[in-house]
Amino acid sequence: MALFRRGGKDSAPDDAVETEVEESPVVDDEPDDDAVPTVSAPVQRTGGPWDASQVDDDLPRVDLGAILLPGVQGMELRMEIDKATDVVSAASILLDGSSLQVQAFAAPRTEGIWDEIRAEIAESVTQQGGSADDLPGPFGRELLARLPIRTPEGRTGHRPARFVGADGPRWFVRGVITGRAAVDPAAATALEQLFAGIVVVRGQDARPPRDLLTLRLPGPGTPNLQSAEPVTDQDQPAAPDFDPMTRGPEITEIR
């Protein structure tokens, strides 16, 4: 389900960044990064996620490269790998039956892109037979989507998902919350706090807007993490070809 594409005039269609959503309950029914625009004020963070230059706390975080992820007792961390490129494409956190998938992207120097991205996600979801409501949330505007799926019984159903986003200085981080936390505010608290504690390490290299920032697997010396072998999900439910549930190989870490 191509929800938005990477920046750059020469980007081909197969460069689309796909949103991959963890399984949750079913309900039937641009210019170069260094170009400086003449409008829009620079993005200022007043709450998390944070830029690396803004954080001096001692909160323990797992180093995933572009993302420093807070560690939460009982969470399971899955690093999603693009089978075609063997590149780590996203991190997914499973906690108490819900999940949060996070990715970080380059963004223009002086303006945010979440408003534009949110509109593109909503359009894509509705074009494929789902629905998306633009609502206020703890990180600003967010989308509550109902993603169309095919149930094992062959019926058409919908799977709820929350799309949250945060614009930072020259970066954008996006989260997708699924499972009970997508519809139950009480169940969402832990994952929202985790998202708010993310630190983005953008780096100084020039990147086109929407370019995926580099993630890496946590180091073997990371405390309180048990390493696991790579796994490939084989048993996905039948779904249309835009199914956001499709995932590639994963490295699973259990905290």
User: What digits encode the pLDDT tens for the residues 110-135?
Assistant: 889 999 999 999 999 999 999 999 99
DSSP secondary structure code for residue 153 in this structure? T
pLDDT band at 45 (very low <50, low <70, confident <90, very high): low
Q: Is residue 25's pLDDT more than 80? A: no
Give pLDDT tens digits for 177-187: 999 999 999 99
pLDDT, position 4: 44
Q: Is residue 241's pLDDT more than 70? A: no
- b/e sequence 102-111, b meaning 16+ C-beta within 10 Å: bbbbbbbbbb
> ω before 208 within 30° of 0 (cis)?
no
Nearest to 17 by CA among 30, 7, 31: 7
Q: Is residue 158's pLDDT more than 50? A: yes
Q: Is residue 28's pLDDT more than 50? A: no
CA gyration radius for the chain?
18
pLDDT, position 43: 60
- Please say whether the beta carbons of 44 and 166 come within 8 A: no
Give pLDDT tens digits for 139-148: 999 999 999 9
CA separation, residue 190 to residues 13, 94, 97, 177, 193 (Å): 36, 11, 12, 11, 5
Residue whose tokens read 């954008």: 172
Q: Is residue 165's pLDDT more than 70? A: yes
Give the global pTM. 0.75
Give pLDDT tens digits for 73-115: 899 999 999 888 888 999 999 999 999 999 999 999 888 999 9
